[in-house]
Amino acid sequence: MAGLGLATSILFSACTAQKNVNAFVTTADQSMVFKPLSIPLDNGSSADANTIVLNPAVKFQEMDGFGAAITGSTCYNLLKMKPEDRAALLKEIFDPVDGMGYSYIRISMGCSDFSMDEYTHCDSVGIENFAIHELDKRDLFPILKEILAINPKVKIMSSPWTPPIWMKVNNLKDLKPFPSWVDGQLNPAYYQDYATYFVKFIQAMEKEGFMIESTTIQNEPLNRGNSASLFMTWQEQRDFIKTALGPAFKAAGIKTKIVAYDHNYNYDYPEKEECADQVGYPEHIYADADAAKYIDGAAFHAYGGDKSEMLRIHTVRPDKNLYFTEISIGEWGDGYSFANDLMWNMREVGIGTINNFCKAVMVWNLMLDENHAPYRPHGCNMCLGAIDISSKDYKTMVKNSHYYAMGHLSKVIKPGAFRIETKGMQQDGVYYTAVLNPDGTYGLVLQNDTDVEVDIRVSADEQTFNCKVPSRSVSSFIW
């Protein structure tokens, strides 16, 4: 421990202190894991080549928050923990002062591929049969209540994986009933009923004390094979929003934000030929004013394509918001690596999306067990949670790269912060983003994805601090 303390004092140093910068550091080799440090802040300014200059006069998007999906599987595992252990963990995750301050979560509207069964909230034919499913009452509600007791300001996004299957048809030409959880399309004859389904869900959740901040229309609308799933083109989503969902929300006084798309940057093309005309999905919907007027923005996943698509969509419609709503880590490819996945996710999902005008970032499952479970058939059987817990004792756990990636962002970038302009330091392998928080503090998240220690200086409001950033590391600063 003495050696680590000495290393810390060498890595983070400055001259005469006026006040301190609070820093948190995680290295890829895990020699430091969310290590809290205090760095002296000096009076003065600097503009040399290694200086990052923050300019609060130039503001970009307002930030909503960071977090993970509270799936059925996550709830199942959390509820297997001893109440006191679960309470301590959730406080560490969601407490905005003493914890990491996760502030945005995603839930499924009905089942997902990480649920305990396939279900919606209206499995009997007829929208009059709507009722929140017992699995959500048993598993989801208790966890949401515990989270909101820690931080009542946590935002919730909902996403359906499938409509009630009695609303599905095989395709829009034949319109034959398609009683399957997997694949199918939404029967236009049920657009109004499905809009009512959304309204009833949001109202039912509000009655339980859960305000739905935003909802997407369909999780991964171009993925036919998920458990569960629905194929929904941009043409269908446009028509559903403008003829049914938007008017239904307006009539019912629903303030929940409608978020379009919710799938990959590359629109699953060219690997799926049928998606050739789906490239640019949200911008096509925005082109219809009668649909666009109801839409807050668009959501993206990172299982295909590049984050630059967010910037392109922002350029097309700068008045519409952008959300990052899903990425998982797992055992595919070369297998899971804390080091490699931390570096990739901070560069591509964290800092990278924020710098491309994204206002909220959520990763996939908050918690799974060591067997990637529970999961549904046709779903992912190789995924890892942000946390993996032992199914032998429901106490021993491993906190994976996603856990710390979201923590580094949420700890110093508060809801209501504005991303601000940064100037100065440009070095290959060094990435950063900065914000001005609502309380007037600055937040900076910096990644050194090189194999060498990097000297940096940060300057804002005639004050500076210096630090030597460890190789292959993520650092968060707030002052």
- Where are the chain's structural domains? 2-61+419-478, 64-412
Question: Does the pLDDT at position 409 exceed 80?
Answer: yes
**Angle at 306 (CA atoms; ends 303, 307), nearest 5 degrees:** 100
Longest CA span, the chain = 76
SS3 179: coil
In this predicted structure, the answer to whether residue 66 has a pLDDT above a threshold of 60 is yes
Q: What is the mean pLDDT of residues 270-276?
A: 97
CATH class of the domain comprising 64-412: alpha beta
Instruction: Give me the chain's average pLDDT, please.
Output: 96
Could you give the percent of the chain with pLDDT greater than 90?
Answer: 94
Count Cβ atoms below 10 Å from residue 293 Cβ, excluding itself: 12
**Among 432, 417, 370, 333, CA closest to 104:** 417
pLDDT beyond 80 at 442: yes
pLDDT grade for 417, boundaries at 50, 70 and 90:
very high
pLDDT of residue 48: 80
Per-residue pLDDT band for 46 (boundaries 50, 70, 90) equals confident
In tens, the pLDDT along 10-33 reads: 344 333 335 899 999 999 999 999
Check residue 58 and give its pLDDT.
99
Task: Say whether pLDDT at 128 is over 60.
Answer: yes
Given a cut of 50, is residue 104 above it in pLDDT?
Answer: yes
9 band by pLDDT with thresholds 50, 70 and 90 = very low
Question: Is 86 strand, coil or helix?
Answer: helix
More reliable by pLDDT, 46 or 297: 297
- Confirm if 169 and 188 have CB atoms less than 8 A apart: no
3-state percent breakdown (helix, strand, coil) of the chain, nearest 5: 30, 30, 40
| pLDDT score, position 7 | 38
* Structure confidence by residue, pLDDT tens digits, 299-316: 999 999 999 999 999 999
**Does residue 405 come out as left (phi exceeding 0), alpha (psi in the -120 to 50 range) or beta?**
alpha
Q: Report pTM.
A: 0.95
Domain formed by 2-61+419-478, architecture:
Sandwich (2.60)
Number of Cβ atoms within 10 Å of the Cβ of 339: 13
Helix (H) or strand (E) holding 148: helix 141-150
Q: Which residues contact 439 (CB under 8 A, 6 or more apart)?
A: 414
Average pLDDT over residues 204-225: 99
Question: Does residue 134 have a pLDDT over 60?
Answer: yes
What is the per-residue pLDDT across 356-365, written as a single tens digit (0 to 9) for each?
999 999 999 9
Share of the chain above pLDDT 70, in %: 96
